[in-house]
Each structure stands twice: as C-alpha cells, then as structure tokens.
Amino acid sequence: MPLTTTTMPLLFKAPTPCPAADAAGGPAGLAADAGARRLAAAVARGDEAAFGELYERYQPRLFRLALVLARGDESMAQDAVQSAFVTAARKLRGAEGEEHLWNWLARVTRQQLAKIWRQQQRTSAVVAVAELPECAADGQPDARLEECLDAALLAMDEEDRQLMEWFYFDRLSHKEIGEQLGTTTKSVSSRLERARVKLRAAITRRLHET
C-alpha cells in the first residue's frame, strides 16, 4: 500500500480530539473501539481503502505529536509520520480498541523519529547532544506534548501565526499568500522560514518549562 501523499498540513485551527478521551466508556466509546478494531483488521488484510481511512484519521494528531518531539523541525516530523504509516501498512496486525491503536501508532512514530535523529547524527559532524529529542525517556502524556504546540503557536505574533495557518491549514501557495499580503513570493518564503524558526524556539522553550 504505497503512501501517495506529498504534504502533511498542520491542523492549527482544529486539532484532532484525543482518541482516548472518546474511548473512556459509553456508546460513543464502544463504537470508537469497534471502529478501531475493524480498521486495524482491515489494514492487516491489505485493504487500501482502510489504510487511507487510517491515514486521514490519525495523521493530523501524529504530526502534531512528532512536531513537538522534533522541537519544531517540520521536515523531520513529516518524515517520522510518513515512516510510521509505512510501518503500519506492513506490521499492524490488530487493535484492542481506539486507545490501543493510537498508542501503537504514537509509539512507532516516536521510534521512527529517534531513528531519523540517529541517522542525522551519523551524517552530520555538528550535532549538539542537547538538541536530540527525548523520545525514549520522555514520559509526558501525548496530550501534554500537544498542548506545548498549541501554547507555542499562541505565543507567536498574530501575523506569523496567520501566515502559517494560511500555508499549512488553508493550503495557500506562496503566490496566493503574496496576493493576500500584496508582496512577492520570495518575501513570503522568507517570512515563512522566519516563522518556522520562531515556532521551533517557542516549542523548545515550552518543553523546558514543563
């Protein structure tokens, strides 16, 4: 089941609800657990439609988690999530319920992120140990890590946050954003890069505070 997506947008405006919260009990929780079992079993059988559903359902939240663990490194977070879904297509064999399925995907994403960091460390002569993610030792709940992302975004200037929302959430091109702002695509590219740097710094600062 090849993964054909080329972009992984951030969901700043409407983060995916925590699956575990919905699976706590009651009819909604039971239905969610049944749906997760069905979905995992279908993916295990090689059902491409089920894999697409799995991706659409869990990718946004996995990317948010990976972005925090990668200290705001968007490219690294994308690679980790992409690799996690490739692993799911090959190795997911079943799930006991919604929370179990999420935890499995989150664990694989953390493992893939750690692998990417190790690869970068081997190929780069300048990698500060302090910059490495605490994937294995990070005991913070996933929801707590996602709160760091939300807080980091809210701490940004309104203009920077709006710029990133246009690009990642509304999926506007550099040209379309330039038309909104009355500026050039080169200027938009430069402003986006500066906003990314600010986001990485804000995430790192928030993680150190927790």
In order along its 210 residues, the chain shows pLDDT tens digits of: 555 443 434 444 444 444 544 445 577 778 888 989 999 999 999 999 999 999 999 998 898 888 888 888 888 888 999 999 999 999 999 889 899 999 999 999 999 998 888 887 765 543 433 343 444 334 456 777 777 777 887 888 888 888 877 886 677 899 999 999 999 999 999 999 998 888 888 887 777 776
CA distance 206 to 94: 35
* Amino acid occupying residue 2: P
| pTM of the predicted structure, to 2 decimals | 0.67
Q: What is the largest CA-CA distance in the chain?
A: 54
Tokens of 57: 């359902």
Domain spans of the chain? 19-209
